A and B are shown apart, each in its own frame.
Chain A
Amino acid sequence: AQRVTQPEKLLSVFKGAPVELKCNYSYSGSPELFWYVQYSRQRLQLLLRHISRESIKGFTADLNKGETSFHLKKPFAQEEDSAMYYCALSAYGGATNKLIFGTGTLLAVQP
């Protein structure tokens, strides 16, 4: 079964503290993993994808196939990072790929 699990509904940290949002997946094929973010009163938008191996807004995520994980990390959290974060898996759905989302983690960065 294709599934994405985000075990934490809420993660609260202080400004400047390291952040790790956990994501585990279940997929029989070769996965493509993404992190989408939703800031307050804004629409859901792509933060980063594992294929790009990039750092966006100081966030990185490494795909670990052995542990089937794609955790999102940032060494020093900022207040503006407060948002809802969704891990997503791209699965082949016919002519196109479709996203399977986790339930999301609300990151609250305290001043």
Chain B
Amino acid sequence: DAMVIQNPRYQVTQFGKPVTLSCSQTLNHNVMYWYQQKSSQAPKLLFHYYDKDFNNEADTPDNFQSRRPNTSFCFLDIRSPGLGDAAMYLCATSRAGGGHNEQFFGPGTRLTVL
């Protein structure tokens, strides 16, 4: 089945220790998104890639970076995680063009910062 895969499902890191979350897709979609969702809050878009073009949200902290080496993979790098970065991180994909297209979500990675 075509899908969006996130690894790992649970990630524990230490305060200040860099961490990378991974997302891959078999849908061949040209847009990939990263959302942060804290407890009882709405998913909040951090950034997205349209093909290789990176689009950062204005309020995304510099601590968060992303890489997309090819169509299938996208990584979220947190350079120096703080306690406030503990959250569920959701990856999503869509096919761009002609207004809004459905976004397909991965299962998420729950990040714990000790």
Whether A43 lies near B106 (C-beta < 8 A) is yes
Interface residue total, chain A, C-beta cutoff 8 A: 24
Nearest Cβ in chain A — how far from B24, in angstroms? Answer: 14
Residue of A nearest to B96 (CB): A96
Whether B42 lies near A44 (C-beta < 8 A) is no
Whether A90 lies near B100 (C-beta < 8 A) is yes
Residue of B nearest to A93 (CB): B55
Nearest Cβ in chain A — how far from B49, in angstroms? Answer: 9
**Given A95-B50, A96-B94: A101 touches B43 (CB 8 Å cut-off):** yes
The answer, yes or no, to whether B61 is at the interface (CB within 8 Å) is: no
A interface, over-half SS: strand
Chain A residues near B101 (CB-CB < 8 A): 97
Q: Which of B4, B55, B99, B103 contacts A94 (CB 8 A)?
A: B55
Chain B residues near A9 (CB-CB < 8 A): 40
Complex interface residues of chain B between 75 and 114 (CB less than 8 A to chain A): 90, 92, 94, 96, 99-108
Chain B residues near A12 (CB-CB < 8 A): none
Interface residue total, chain B, C-beta cutoff 8 A: 27
Bound-state Cα–Cα, A45 to B43, Å: 13
Whether B53 lies near A95 (C-beta < 8 A) is yes
The answer, yes or no, to whether B27 is at the interface (CB within 8 Å) is: no
Bound-state Cα–Cα, A98 to B41, Å: 17
Whether A96 lies near B42 (C-beta < 8 A) is no
Bound-state Cα–Cα, A93 to B45, Å: 11
Nearest Cβ in chain B — how far from A103, in angstroms? Answer: 5
Q: 0/1 per residue, B59-81, Cβ < 8 Å to A?
A: 00000000000000000000000
Whether B99 lies near A97 (C-beta < 8 A) is yes
CB pairs A–B below 8 angstroms (10 shown): A32-B100, A46-B102, A49-B100, A51-B99, A96-B50, A97-B99, A98-B48, A99-B103, A101-B44, A102-B42
| Apart from A44-B92, A101-B42, 4 more pairs, CB < 8 Å | A34-B100, A44-B90, A86-B42, A99-B103
